[in-house]
Chains A and B, each alone.
Chain A
Amino acid sequence: MKSSVITFPGSNCDRDMDVALKKFGFKNKMVWHADTELPKSDLVVLPGGFSYGDYLRCGSIASKSKIMQSVINFANSGGMVMGICNGFQILVETGLVPGVLLRNKYLEFICKNVFVKISDKRNKYFKNVNNEVLEFHIAHNEGNYFCTNDQLKEIEDNNQIAINYCDENGKIEDQFNPNGSIKNIAGIFNREKNVLGMMPHPERMIDTSLSGEDGSMFFKNLINNLK
């Protein structure tokens, strides 16, 4: 399986994502934001970080990068595109997934492990994941997902919610919401479910010596689903 990770000026989880993808069998290429052509890919990842220093609005400048037109075309033709953290912020700025990401409710950067419940497995990202609840890691300042009531209805009607913040038993309640996201939303799909944006970093959970191993489960499953 071939993957591409886009490096924007200010991306800082691009190497981590490269390490993770390679660890689980992807042939990964790093792609520079000023390039116009995407290499042939089965998966394109927009990594975490602070593209353009989060200036103007997180993700907004990067969403206008040269490479993004190819990424958007790739997504619109059904290609798998995953945006993690800042990558998710870039995705909402392109409109590939609905909604916006506001500053965290308590106005502070949060770096910690969280539990997320998989909301829908009828997609290539989560199909065949055995667990209902995964332990992932978040590190962000603007992860507070928000959308209009109409958008929310549409999202729910189309089963576009990917994962919600919850406790270890899968209970989705306000107290387990780290950033104030509407409905505890931690990740969301486009309507066709080939595009996934999520705040948690699965690439930081690929080793028992690190924060945990649920990221390994995610990537192993992902590559199998793409085969």
Chain B
Amino acid sequence: MIVNEQVAIDHGLKKDEYAKICQLLKRTPNITELGIFSAMWNEHCSYKSSRLHLKKLPTKGKKVIQGPGENAGVIDIEDNDAIVFKIESHNHPSFIEPYQGAATGVGGIMRDVFTMGARPIANLNSIHFGSPQHKKTKNLLRGVVHGIGGYGNCMGVPTIAGQTSFDSSYNGNILVNAMTLGLVKKDKIFYSKAAGLNKPVIYVGSKTGRDGIHGASMASASFDEKIEEKKPTVQVGDPFTEKLLLEACLELMAGDSIIAIQDMGAAGLTSSSIEMASKGNLGIEINLNKVPCRETKMTPYEIMLSESQERMLIVLENGKEEQAKKIFDKWNLDFAVIGKTTKSKKIELYFDEEKVADIPVNTLVENSPMYDREWKKAKLPKKNKIKKEDIKHLKIIDVLKKILANPNVCSKEWIWQQYDHTVMGDTIQKPGGDAGVVRVHGTDKAVAASVDSSAVYCWAHPLTGGKQVVCESFRNLISVGAKPIAITNCLNFGSPENGENMGEFVECVQGIGEASEYLKFPVVSGNVSFYNQTKDQGIKPTPAIGGVGLIKDYKNMITMDFKEVENLVLVIGKTEGHIDQSLFARNILDEKNGPPPEINLFNEKNNGETLLKLIDNNLIKSAHDVSLGGIITAVAKMCIKGKKGINIKKPKYLINEIEYLFAEDQGRYIIEINKKDFKKVTDILHKNAVHFDDLGTINENELYINDKTKVTIDELSTSNKSWLTNYMSK
């Protein structure tokens, strides 16, 4: 095939990008080389629109062992233990083929983690669908949930937490973000940097097929009405092979034969070999005839661009091939020496004794395009004034029941019951709480993780929204008694070529950066997904934040269920009555405009750290952060989980009751304490200048405000639990 500008454009490259390739190579690339450039230079692999902005994120900290740039981030959890974690998107394939798209998303992120030598110990996910009324939503939801479960369950890694939302902006572009945490010894972490000359390059895992060719390019473009035709670009997962690959890799890693290891994810053999060479400042020579293929007559182009799953590339020490091969034979996996490291600093490919590609590595990596895209700054919308006549007819209990049954608040049990969340025998906080918690096997330590996003806030004001998501992650970890350590981010946005979408990206990233800097909650890994867009319609900006924290003694973990009648309930943090962009405003008042709640980073940090002090002093019986639906929604969930009720007092200050109960001001928590500890608790709160309200007292089984405003917990529980089950069974 003759390569020209049109062929390059068909590969998703721009005219000037093609010109740059010709200039870098000082010749016209052949088709295999063009394929390699298109795979390395697409948005998904090159981060060409985002790199400039991502550089501004804080990525360092005392506990950070490895920040962005490797397969995953690594943090120190003491005693020579480390946690490897990352979140990644699989949005585009999941819309085209929900089961396989979601399954391979989970498989891919687990590979990123065990590539570094860590055994995966927990999975999480953040999934977003269109309006429940949209004709595709139900099938997409079912397919994605089955796919996530199908892969994670088979791998034997518990899925411990997640987030599901519905919004019409995802009608044509659902989001599937998968996160994995792995456990590794600090002195046994593996990296992807190749080193040494003439070292054997080994291919292990599944055979290469024609599936997923150009998957990464597909994920770097907007959708149109012909998107269904892209089905062949979706990879097909085989979790059984990945389970074998995991065990075989960990067995090989126990020895000392590996120099570098890299999984074949997006852009398959292309990106894995180039990344290893680039990091090691070396060249790699590969004989493509040696690559195990599952189909006959595969061309060099297809072999290099296939995204077949469950494959790894390893640079071994010389002379260790036989020993390594034995392990992969035991697990019935392919093992092939396909090439070697060279000093050429080029990627050189041979096929049928002919050189089929010859590209300097730096042209693909350092010289890849980087754009400073135009972007529009968002204005802070004007606040709405709530009119008394709009709310005076509202009955608090009716509103509460409606909010508890809202698709974005309701119980997601139908989803997480389909995920094995207890395998490995260390899950001490199951899905449905503020964060999932797993013990560090065989120790007293536990790791908490949560994944959050607030697309509505980010859409209303990206800078505030970006900060808010980081704060929410911080709060969720603290609510279970964990000290927050670091985050990973999955940045889901529309087209970077649209100034408004790009502005949303830039300002959300700025917000994330400011909050993580202030809270000392650095970003250690992440992924950008642009072009979540169908024709001109982009999604609401949806940065998802995966937070990880440590609980030193798992017995001190906190859960959100109310524990004991007569205990006192306090609200930590001040309620100002911010209603704009709240669930109450959007769903009850049908008011979609206005600014999101403000973020005060000082209060976030101070309130959170003070709560951790209370927890350290064993003064907290249960805790939950206040988010969607305000104080009363948070309290209702604690009642439902604990099968207890509460007598709620009238607020002593401010505003009317509705604003007090449904406002979504930030930096707040609900805590349950024993009466006898009241003075101790309030002394600590006063000493740290933390505002608190005395909200009420726990009772047997009723949420009680006054004789006319009360409801049984059973009734609230039914509202909360039935929506999703009913929706999916219709």
Contact = CB atoms under 8 A, between A and B. Distances in A.
A19 B423 CA distance: 12
A138 to B, nearest CB: 10
Interface in A185-227: 201, 203-204, 206-207, 209-211
Given A50-B154, A210-B427, A12 B243 contact: yes
Given A50-B154, A53-B154, A209-B439, A9 B423 contact: no
Contact of A210 (B154, B419, B425): B425
Interface stretch (A37-45, A65-73, A108-116, A168-176): A108-116
A1 B238 CA distance: 38
Interface string A42-58: 00000011101111000
A111 B425 contact: no
A10 interface: yes
Contacts of A117: none
Contacts of A109: 146, 149-150, 153, 418-420
Contacts of B331: 9
B421 interface: yes
B244 interface: yes
Nearest to B238: A53
Given A10-B243, A49-B156, A209 B424 contact: no
Contacts of B418: 108-111
Contacts of A54: 154, 240
A201 B239 CA distance: 22
Interface in A2-57: 9-10, 12-13, 15-16, 19-20, 48-50, 52-55
B244 A12 contact: no
Contacts of A53: 154, 238-241, 243
Nearest to B145: A108
B423 A13 contact: yes
A211 B149 CA distance: 20
Contacts of A16: 423-425
B682 interface: no
B332 interface: yes
B669 interface: no
A15 B250 CA distance: 15
B155 A139 contact: no
Interface string B119-160: 000000000000000000000000000100110011110000
Q: Interface residue tally of chain B, by bracket?
A: 20 to 34
Given A49-B156, A109-B149, A19 B240 contact: no
Contacts of B239: 50, 53
Contacts of A137: 422
A31 to B, nearest CB: 14
Given A50-B239, A139-B422, A111 B417 contact: yes
A50 B240 contact: yes
B555 interface: yes
A43 B602 CA distance: 59
Interface in A153-178: none
> Quick one: which of A10, A54, A203 has the most chain B CB within 10 A?
A10
A112 B422 CA distance: 9
B241 to A, nearest CB: 8
A110 B240 contact: no
> Quick one: which of B153, B241, B554, B555 has the most chain A CB within 10 A?
B153
Contacts of A20: 425
B670 interface: no
A139 B420 contact: yes
B428 interface: yes
A10 B417 contact: no
Contacts of B153: 50, 109, 111, 139, 141
Interface in A107-144: 108-112, 137, 139, 141
Nearest to B425: A16
Contacts of B416: 111
Contact of A9 (B149, B332, B425, B555): B332
A111 B154 contact: no
A216 to B, nearest CB: 12
B72 to A, nearest CB: 22
Nearest to B414: A108
A210 B555 contact: no
Nearest to B729: A106
Given A53-B238, A210-B425, A10 B555 contact: no
> Quick one: which of B238, B239, B240 has the most chain A CB within 10 A?
B240
Given A50-B239, A54-B154, A139-B423, A9 B417 contact: no
B417 A112 contact: yes
B240 A111 contact: no
Interface string B681-698: 000000000000000000
Contacts of A204: 422-423, 425
Nearest to B159: A111
Nearest to B156: A12
Interface string B400-439: 0000000000000000111111111111100000000001
A82 to B, nearest CB: 17
A186 to B, nearest CB: 17
A143 B441 CA distance: 28
Nearest to B728: A108
Interface in A68-84: none
A53 B241 CA distance: 8
A75 B419 CA distance: 33
Contacts of A112: 417
A12 B555 CA distance: 26
B554 A209 contact: yes
A12 B149 contact: no
A10 B240 contact: yes
Given A9-B331, A13-B156, A109-B149, A211 B422 contact: yes
Contacts of A111: 153, 416-422
Contacts of B421: 111
A52 B240 contact: yes
Nearest to A203: B425
A19 B441 CA distance: 10
A23 to B, nearest CB: 10
A20 B424 CA distance: 11
Interface string B543-572: 000000000001100000000000000000
> Quick one: which of B154, B240, B244, B425 has the most chain A CB within 10 A?
B425
Nearest to B427: A210
B237 to A, nearest CB: 11
A210 to B, nearest CB: 6
Given A204-B422, A204-B425, 8 more contacts: A48-B423, A49-B156, A50-B154, A53-B243, A111-B418, A137-B422, A201-B422, A210-B428
10 contacts: A13-B156, A16-B424, A50-B243, A52-B240, A53-B239, A53-B240, A109-B418, A110-B417, A209-B428, A211-B422
Q: What 8 A-B pairs come out closest when comparing CB atoms? A: A12-B156, A53-B240, A16-B425, A50-B154, A139-B420, A209-B428, A109-B418, A204-B422
